Structure 1
């Protein structure tokens, strides 16, 4: 092998090594994703100051807000049925998260779900108030069938979300649209337009982009500042959502058991 060929090989090996390092550094850290999901969800559910009238003897009160939380779930063919099931699992974990801080019920927090792929297949699976218990909502999510659509009509799905929010949301509730998608929209109106309309109406818009086919520019146009998330896979997103849920659970202080006293009986 000549000297020129050796130099070419060295350059090639160095290039491959650098590319591998860049790819590794671009990977989403599961712990970081879990923490950011937790931080955002907890901020939506942060107790708010309520001014008079309040209970007798108190001049103010903090109350946990009630949510009208609308999932917008991508069901295009690129996801596959297997990973769509994991996306549904993520939705169910978020339902548990919400219920743990702001109980779901007829007069409490409420959940709805829109499924979309092509414009013609985009539809409301269930709306606010259709199901008023955690178990009923999670069972209904489990029943959602994979559309396996040939397009990704995120814009029309957000238009439908706007219609749902205008018609079904409850005054005083914190309104949230939560999009989960694995690709760039390629059908119907550009998603930025209805996303901006939702924000103008006081709705928080969040988006989770899954995999390497999403478009970061579009994600940032859809989601509010601080509510755009990336995940390498649906499996990772499910793990991170479960970790976020665990972070939301009350924890005993490290010295809790040291302060307990036991009496022999």
Structure 2
């Protein structure tokens, strides 16, 4: 049974609204796309505008559902990740399910598989207006502080005008991607897509639509603030080019999700598109907000949540090599970024005397010299972490017996 939102009032235009809108209007596909890699730390409300009209055959409708399922499969779903919904394009727009109905990938896949075609007219403009006026509301499960991207895959046919509602969506901060199967008007589609058109407008044969699944996923993530190279104490933030050094700067805020009072702020040059954050706590979720401060136009902030990895244990292995009568090399692994330094404590056995050698945390070996020949030593390597924690591992080593 379809959900009814007839009681919802039209939502006012809000240039600061940030949701993720993914609209697909396709009519024919033959090949399913294999799932891509798992995509973490992506937040957004994904709305599929699905052509359910009588101009689409049952076979084509089934293939579109397969395409949507393949496109969504790598995403993580939940209140702090991706949410998704479907609106049918027909004589009257109809909701299949709201954003917050299915919080897991398995549930989403099953719901899409069970979606039924409605037939009727291809009133795409009405569906876009419905999305703009009534669907991005709390009642529909939408969230106000998540990104918004519109991807419209079209054969170029609609029985009503799409231009006004499409412009209203872009005025809300929507980034519009259009994939045309080749029969659309280039000038009209260029005007409908976000600028520049060479990055947001694509023409492809209808039989080749499945091969752009990864490209669509990449387009979604590329327009977003995202984290890469995540370790236990750092991650690199990347974002699309929104400013230049002459048009403004960014304000970056990052806060441990469970400690909102510990918010940190940095000002970043407008020509930057990445930044490495260091000295972070392990196994901690950070809420990150990138605020473009443009002196020419309003650009909505971008947000993401990043969880650092568990602190890597070091050392877990010690190797003794290059032994001579008066020296040997001590090596250890691994050498995680969270380690500031290593302390190498060594002394002869038996005995109660020992020496201490300090080694930089970026190094994984050192040579111990001025040792006594033909002697067994106890060597202890202790890792000193940025958090103040310590971990030590010991091994025995022998010098050679002759000069």
User: Which interval holds the TM-score relative to the shorter structure?
Assistant: 0.5 to 0.7
2:125 to 155, 179, 184: 155
1:236 to 208, 220, 224: 208
1 or 2 for the larger relative contact order (CA 8 Å, sep ≥6)? 1
Larger Rg over CA atoms: 2
Structure 2 partner of 1:224:
194
State how far apart, in whole Å, the 2-side matches of 1:154 and 1:222 are.
14
Per-residue Cα deviation, 1:134-178 (whole angstroms, up to 9, x for no partner):
1111111111112232x3211111111112124443132112333
1:83 to 60, 67, 87: 60
- Greater mean deviation of Cα atoms: 64-73 or 164-173: 164-173
TM-score (norm: length of structure 1): 0.58
Which has the larger share of helix? 1
1:114 aligns with 2:87: yes
Structure 2 partner of 1:69:
46
Q: RMSD value over aligned CA atoms?
A: 3.2
Counterpart mapping for 1:1-265 below 5 A: 64-97=41-74, 99=75, 103-118=76-91, 120=92, 122-149=93-120, 151-162=121-132, 163-167=134-138, 168-187=141-160, 190-210=161-181, 212=183, 214-225=184-195, 226-233=199-206, 235-241=207-213
Change (3 A) 1:221 1:117: farther
Q: Give yes or no for contact 1:206–1:227 (8 Å, CA) kept in 2.
A: yes
Which has the larger share of strand? 2
Q: Give yes or no for contact 1:72–1:180 (8 Å, CA) kept in 2.
A: no
SS at match of 1:111: strand
Per-residue Cα deviation, 1:94-114 (whole angstroms, up to 9, x for no partner):
2124x1xxx211332111111
Structure 1 partner of 2:295:
none
State how far apart, in whole Å, the 2-side matches of 1:243 and 1:197 are.
26
State how far apart, in whole Å, the 1-side matches of 2:158 and 2:171 are.
22
Give the paired residue count: 179
State how far apart, in whole Å, the 2-side matches of 1:64 and 1:134 are.
15
State how far apart, in whole Å, the 2-side matches of 1:165 and 1:205 are.
16
Change (3 A) 1:244 1:216: closer
For structure 2, the residue ranges without an aligned partner over 5 or more in a row are 1-32, 222-227, 229-403
For structure 1, the residue ranges without an aligned partner over 5 or more in a row are 1-33, 39-44, 46-62, 251-265
TM-score (norm: length of structure 2): 0.39
State how far apart, in whole Å, the 2-side matches of 1:228 and 1:74 are.
20
State how far apart, in whole Å, the 1-side matches of 2:166 and 2:181 are.
19
- Greater mean deviation of Cα atoms: 124-133 or 217-226: 217-226
Change (3 A) 1:245 1:154: closer
